[in-house]
Structures are given as structure tokens and as C-alpha cells.
Structure 1
Amino acid sequence: MVDMEKANSEALNRLLSAQPTLVDMGLAKEVIPGFKERMLTHAGPPIEWTDMSGPLRGAVIAGILFEGWEKTPREAERLAASGEITYEPNHHHHSVGPMAGVITPSMPVFVVENKAFGNKSYTNMNEGLGKVMRMGAYSEEVIKRLHWMKDVMYPTMQAGIRRAVTAGEPIDLKNIIAQALHMGDELHNRNKAATSLFVRVLAPYMIEAAPVAKDVADVVRFLDRSDIYFVNLAMAAAKASLLPAHDVKGSSMVTIMSRNGTEFGIKVSGLGDEWFTAPAAIPKVLLFPGFTEDDVNPDIGDSAIMETLGVGGFALAAAPAIVQFIGGSPQDSVNYTLEMYEITVGENNVYTIPYLNFRGTPTGIDMLKVAETGITPILDTGVACKRAGVGQVGAGIVRMPIKAFEKAAERFVEMYAD
């Protein structure tokens, strides 16, 4: 008979013991396990072109144009539908990406190592807000920015990261997340403090090591304009932290939550590599001017890995100012966090919330508690337009569909019932 309480304690302890550290950058095809030349990875559970939502299709088109496989959006769309491109989830390659999450073979990615267990995770660079690839935009300005990030930002940041590692001071992402929670971030939609802390740590090393000295100023200016920049690194830190918590026999703890704009999916520690899915939810949206609810695409992105870690929507009480971006009130933020304690295995030992007397964030979603109570995980999220090519239309709050958790609960009972 499996001791579920013991199994969940083991999975949670592995998560809490993680030491996610930024150790390098590289091109996706050279550093991500199993990445191939004609492959694009994406957010969420597996999906093919015919079922992709507008923003994911738009990001695929942008990826093809960035790689130079085609020259026009129409040609890129034909290639995307031709069967010549392999589409696989980021999570199948220890990777994550926000919103559409598309990673292409020659795209620069961060390499994060969990020093406690030796496993690695990967994520792409953040483009900022608005009309960006991850939101499904593919205009000339989007592709031009992606090339600047590869040609200028990547070598500058890579040199700084490597200098930090050589100096014996690799960037401790867990420490940055913990500090940022005390400075008003929740590490999903608000990363203002975390991005600032990251720049403070990395800038001296970039100044010392950048191959082109004048590029450092341009990179720092870009980071200064991109308050959300750290979210990709936070996601990679979460992925690296959660990987060792998977495959604990008898554990009902969720180790992946993700959405591809069509479906929402989860994986559970004690249920192997099986995805449990349901239709993606529609967020409650605070819209940008000029857009309506009819423009809103169903929920999308690997960024739900932040709530799986125990921050993001689960730490909204730490970020009262977030309501200016996602709607609601500061008290709503507190109430959301308090509710999440009802469906988690435990509390975090490092990530704490000042407003709650430094109580640890609710950590380790228990799939069975979700199914039993009907309380579903809360996320605060960016929102993409359902039409490919448009980009972001707002931000809001969204509940994860309970059907995926109910399916996992049924499978859990089948597997572990006496």
C-alpha cells in the first residue's frame, strides 16, 4: 500500500530543497536536449497546427520568419501547415516559455541548473510587452527585435553570465525570487523588482566581459524598459525546481500546469508522463484600450509553472499593486492567496509573504484536494488576441479547469486503489 502522505512530503521536500541557478546561455538546438533543426517547441500540452489557436499560430509564423525558412507570413503559414515542421511541447524538453512559448532552433535560451539535484532547464528571452512573438505577433518590428536580441543582447548577456560563473558567483535565482516577493512582485505578471535585482547583479559582469562594450548600455536600457523581463528566468527556475519532484510513487502533487491556447494540461508526480487535459479557460480581463472581450483568446502559456511552484497567483497577497494591471482590489489578492492554502501540500520555506506575517506561500498543488474541494488554482496572466498577428490585449485572472484534475484523480484511484 502506498503512503500518499509520505510520498507528497517527499515530493514537496525535493521542491523546497531546489537551488535554481543561472549558469549559461546558448542556442536552443545546441543546448536543449532533443532539439532538432526543423522543430518548434511551444507552450502547453501537445498540439498540431490544425488545432492551434491564433496566438500560437502567429508565434509559429514569427518563428519561421525569424529562422529565415520563409520570407513572408503567407509562405510561413503554408510551411507551418505542410507537415515539414515538428511541433513538441517545451515541457518535453525540460523547457518553458511564456504565452505561446515558441522556441526555435537558433533562438538564444537561458540555461538554469538546480544545484541541489544537478538537473537543468531552459527558457527563451523575454521581448517586453505589447506586440511581441509570444503574443502571436509577427510584423517586421517583431522579427527585427528578435534578431537584435540574438545578435546584440545574447552575446552581451552570455558573456556576463559566464563571467559571473567564472568568478564563483553564478546568479542565484531562488534568492532573487525570495527578495522580489518582499518588494511587491508575485513573479508571474509582476516582475518589476525581480528584473531590477537581476540587472543589479548582472550589469557589472556584462561591463567586464561584453565583446562589444557599447552594447552593454543598449542591453541595460532594454531591460529598464522591460519590467516583465525576469518572468522567463523565474519560469526556468520553477521548472528546474519541480523536475526532481516528478515521478515520486504515490504522490498526488502537480508538477506541471500549462496551456497552449486550446487546451489546459497537468502532470502529476505519481502518474508518470501522462497529460490530463481540458479545454483552456477564458480569463477575466482588464483590457487594453481598443479591444473587447470578443478579442480574448483562451488561456495560454507555460507560465502556470509559477503557480505550480507556489508563487504567481498563489502569492498575490505579496503584490497589492498588481491589481492595477489585472483588475480587482488588494483585498481580493489576499483572499486568493488564503484560498490556495486549501489545495496545497504545504507552505514554502523560502518564499514568504510580508503581509501574512511572512507566512510561506501555499506550495505543492494537491490534485486530489482540487478534485475533492472544487477549489481550482488561480492564475494571474497576460491575455493574447485570438487573431494571429495582433499581440497582447490585456491581462487578468483565470481559474484552471477542474476537469483536468478530476481526470487525474480518476487515474490516481485506478493506479493506487487497493
Structure 2
Amino acid sequence: MDTPTTVVNVGTDLLAAAVEAQAAAVTRVDWRPPMPGTEDDLVAVATDPLRADANVRALTAMLEVQATLVDVAPASEVLGLERGQFLHAGPPIGWDRAAGPLRGALMGGAALEGLVDDPEDAVALFESGSSVSLEPCHHRGTVGPMAGVVTPSMWMWVLEDQRTGRRTFCSLNEGLGKVLRYGAYSPEVLTRLRWMGDVLGPLLQRAVRATTESQGPVDVTGILTQMLQMGDEAHNRNRAGTLMLLRDLSPAMVAAGDPADVAEALRFVGGNDHFFLNLAMPACKLALDAARGIEGSTMVVAMARNGTDFGIQVAGTGEEWFTGPAQLADGLYLGDFGPDDANPDIGDSAITETAGIGGFAMATAPAIVRFVGGSVPDALATTRRMHEITLGENPRWSVPVLEFQGTPTGIDVARVCRTGILPQINTGMAGKVAGVGQVGAGLVTPPAEIFPAALARLAELARARG
């Protein structure tokens, strides 16, 4: 019998290693069985005659969006938020199940709005629920990092796809450490937020409007394209993006404001490398929202966490949330903090990974491992692995070290269930006790069970269509 010149090994590497030890060439195929219990649903979805075209349309619609910055304005104006109404990150949740950082942010938000004098007094207000309401940011075209709390007086970035006129929104970034979005509500946190409302927001509004009138709106999608070439991944590293935003807005800021206010604002933004994150997030949401409601599509259009639950929404299942328990990130901690101090994953910022950047584009930003843990080879391997669960690539957002391959884009529920590979997210970590603030940053994946749940719903709809 002839000795084979090449061997294809599927699954475990044990046989491959043995064959290589005998100087034979081996091609490894990384195959895994599908997630348990998903076999019949995978068949139903695979044979759905709508699926292939629906996924092409969903991915195409997403990639066609060009996010531009058109305004900055209070949430009361652009979102219609009224006194006592609060938005939060993640899927729907009530005060009774809210995690520490979300509670802390809501308490601080209540004090900011003058509903209570002391944030601690807000506990009774939210427990009674008589004069306050909670709603997910996503339900109002908005995204919020970490706790994601938005109150009526907070100033919001306003992004628009000028081809369709659709808009999305996000609050202004406070920086790192003891900030409201991490659940802190000390006097310094509220003082900073009031300055952002009184000085920074109005100054940015004048600058954005003046820039738009003289040069056209700032191209946020274009900045994302450039920053990925400059070492950012647009979730936990936004240094280049922040500097490019300053480049575009600072001339109008200087012309539109009091010199002392401008100097303070430039120092604040220049000292906050995460400032651009709050533009990257609504840009990603604007793109993904274009794929919502496409019947038969298995593409994920949102991943979001409220500190208790992790939820996803899918293009072909409307506004339905599929939820499971939020996971604790594995990463690096600040100071003396450790795993016992951290809350499970929280925030809408996983919209970046949903769009194909953040953790999916870690190969563009190998320095990110200094912040979230892991190694440079891990970052490269993560980006390669995410291609196995996505529908395509984004030609705008390319990875130089991978021969300018587009970032993996369009998470496919069916591919996740078929491979068992979960989306990789890099994230900040909030303290589990209200008021603590940030305790670290790390890597996390969604709870595995939410993808079979979404697949089951997609299969049910496919069977109903016959």
C-alpha cells in the first residue's frame, strides 16, 4: 500500500501530531460538533429559502451606512426624555434586579437631575418606582457605555446616515476611574457631569454646527477607518480616534467659545483617550440598525449587557431579546482590586464587536493586551477566529498585519451554534458595589445559551413559513 503524502486531520490534534512525527504533511481542520440540542434547528435554518438572500441584504445594508456627526444636544431634546425617565445599557431590567454599578449610576443620575439632594436618598425613589421609569438605551436609538445611564439633562452626540436620514445617539464620555458609567456618584463625579452639561456640551454643539456649516459633517465612519490603521480597535483603545476628532473640531471650538472654557475642554478631551468611544458606539449602532427587521436573516444586530443579563437581538427576529447571565471578565485589575471586587459584564459598548471592531479587531491594536490582558499572538488569533462566525468582511475596516484583510463582520447565530465559537469582547470592569467605579479591564464572551435560544426562534419562524 502506498504511503499517503498528505493527511487531513479533523478535530483533535493527537493524530496530527503523531503523523507529523513521522515526517508526513498534515492539514489541520478545526472542527467542533455543534452546540448541544441545536442540530434540528440548524437544519431548519439552513434550509430556509429566505436565509441566504436575507443575510446578504443584512450585511450589505450594514456596510452601506456612512455615519456622520451632525449635532450635540440634550437628551430631553433629541430623545424626548422627561423628568424621572432614565435610560440604561443592556436588555430591559428593573431596580430589583439591577447590579451595583447600574444602581450607583441611577442614584447619581437622580441627584444630577435634582430628584434627590443626596444620591443615597435615590434608593427609596427607585424602590417605589412611582415617579421614575427605566428603559434600555437601544429602545430609543441610543447606546450607553457600561451602566449606560442617560438622564434628560445629559448632552448627546447625534449621528446621522445622510443617505437615509436615520439617527443614533450617545452621551459624552466622562473618562476613566470614578465616573458615573462605572457606578460612581461621589461629589466629584456630579461636579464633572454638571460642567459637561453647562460648558462642554454647549461648546461642542457650537463647534459641531459651525464645522458642519463650513466644511460638512465630521465623517465618523471615515475616522474609524483611519484609526484602525493607527493602532486603535475602537472599543478599549481610541487614542488616535480622539486625536482626529480634536483635529476636526478644535478650530471651531476655539472660534466659538470663551478662551478659558475652550482651554479646559481641550485639556479634558486631550486627557481622555476614551473620548471617541462614545462616537464609535453610535456609529456601529447606526450601521447595524440598517439590518433590523430583515425576515430570515440570522445576523446579530445588537449585543448588550446591563450587569445582570447579557442580551442579543437578531435581524430576523424583530425587537426580541435573547438573554442569559452576564459573565465575569478575565483581565487585569487596578491597584488592589481583584476578581472578588468586579461586577459581571456591563454596557452597550459590545455594539463595537457586533459591528466587527473592538475585540474582533484586536489584531489592529496589539498594544490593547497591555490594558485587557492576553498576548499579541492571542490578539492576532482572536481576529482570525472571529472570521469563522461572521458572514463577511468590512472592506472599510482592514487589518494591516493580516495583509489588510477586512475585519470579521456580521455575527451569524447559525455559525456560532455550529462551531461553538463565541464572540470575543474586550471590556472595562466596574466594581460590583455601587459607588466604587472602575476596577479593571479584560476579555469576556457572552453566555453560550443565548445563541441556541435565538436559533430556536429563527427555526420556529422558518418552519412557520413552510
TM (norm. structure 2) is 0.88
Candidates 334, 344, 354, aligned match of 2:380? 334
Partner of 1:214, secondary structure, is helix
State the Cα distance separating 1:209 from its structure 2 match.
2.1
* In the alignment, structure 1 residue 78 sits paired with structure 2 residue 124: yes
Aligned to 2:68: 21
Tell me, in whole angstroms, the C-alpha distance in 1 between the residues paired with 2:363 and 2:457: 34
Tell me, in whole angstroms, the C-alpha distance in 2 between the residues paired with 1:157 and 1:46: 31
Tell me, in whole angstroms, the C-alpha distance in 1 between the residues paired with 2:265 and 2:120: 32
Tell me, in whole angstroms, the C-alpha distance in 2 between the residues paired with 1:405 and 1:115: 33
Aligned to 1:378: 424
RMSD (Å), alpha carbons: 0.9
State the Cα distance separating 1:162 from its structure 2 match.
0.3
Partner of 1:281, secondary structure, is coil
* In the alignment, structure 1 residue 96 sits paired with structure 2 residue 130: no
Runs of 4+ with >3 A deviation: none
State the Cα distance separating 1:36 from its structure 2 match.
2.9
State the Cα distance separating 1:78 from its structure 2 match.
1.3
Tell me, in whole angstroms, the C-alpha distance in 1 between the residues paired with 2:160 and 2:152: 21
Structure 2 letter corresponding to 1:14: A
1:75-104 Cα offsets, whole Å, 9 max, x none, are 112112221210000000000010000000
* In the alignment, structure 1 residue 109 sits paired with structure 2 residue 156: yes
Aligned to 2:454: 408
Partner of 1:40, secondary structure, is strand
Partner of 1:196, secondary structure, is helix
State the Cα distance separating 1:123 from its structure 2 match.
0.4
Equivalent residues in 2 for 1:17-416, closer than 5 Å: 17-32=64-79, 34-83=80-129, 84-210=131-257, 212-416=258-462
CA contact (8 A) 1:109 1:125 kept: yes
State the Cα distance separating 1:230 from its structure 2 match.
0.5
Structure 2 letter corresponding to 1:46: P
Tell me, in whole angstroms, the C-alpha distance in 2 between the residues paired with 1:367 and 1:110: 31
Tell me, in whole angstroms, the C-alpha distance in 2 between the residues paired with 1:175 and 1:270: 29
Tell me, in whole angstroms, the C-alpha distance in 1 between the residues paired with 2:302 and 2:119: 32
Tell me, in whole angstroms, the C-alpha distance in 1 between the residues paired with 2:456 and 2:227: 38
Structure 2 portions without partners, runs of 5+: 1-47
Partner of 2:241, secondary structure, is helix
1:183-231 Cα offsets, whole Å, 9 max, x none, are 0000000001110111111101111223x23311111100111001100
Tell me, in whole angstroms, the C-alpha distance in 1 between the residues paired with 2:231 and 2:354: 20
Tell me, in whole angstroms, the C-alpha distance in 2 between the residues paired with 1:70 and 1:366: 45
Which protein shows a greater Rg? 2
Partner of 1:303, secondary structure, is coil
Tell me, in whole angstroms, the C-alpha distance in 1 between the residues paired with 2:163 and 2:346: 31
| Paired positions, count | 416
CA contact (8 A) 2:74 2:152 kept: yes
CA contact (8 A) 1:39 1:87 kept: yes
CA contact (8 A) 1:15 1:242 kept: yes
CA contact (8 A) 1:117 1:244 kept: no
| Percent identity of equivalent pairs | 49
1:216-272 Cα offsets, whole Å, 9 max, x none, are 111110011100110011001111111111111110000010000000001000111
Structure 2 letter corresponding to 1:302: D
CA contact (8 A) 1:370 1:402 kept: no
Tell me, in whole angstroms, the C-alpha distance in 2 between the residues paired with 1:348 and 1:116: 19
CA contact (8 A) 2:142 2:168 kept: yes
Partner of 2:222, secondary structure, is helix
State the Cα distance separating 1:116 from its structure 2 match.
2.8
CA contact (8 A) 1:17 1:116 kept: no
State the Cα distance separating 1:328 from its structure 2 match.
1.0
State the Cα distance separating 1:118 from its structure 2 match.
1.4
Partner of 1:122, secondary structure, is strand
Aligned to 1:5: 52
Tell me, in whole angstroms, the C-alpha distance in 2 between the residues paired with 1:148 and 1:36: 21
Structure 1 letter corresponding to 2:455: A
State the Cα distance separating 1:398 from its structure 2 match.
0.3
TM (norm. structure 1) is 0.98
CA contact (8 A) 1:346 1:363 kept: yes
Q: Which is further off, 201-210 or 322-331?
A: 201-210
CA contact (8 A) 1:28 1:107 kept: yes
CA contact (8 A) 1:188 1:231 kept: yes
1:96-147 Cα offsets, whole Å, 9 max, x none, are 0100000001111111001232100010000000000000000000000000
Tell me, in whole angstroms, the C-alpha distance in 1 between the residues paired with 2:128 and 2:77: 25
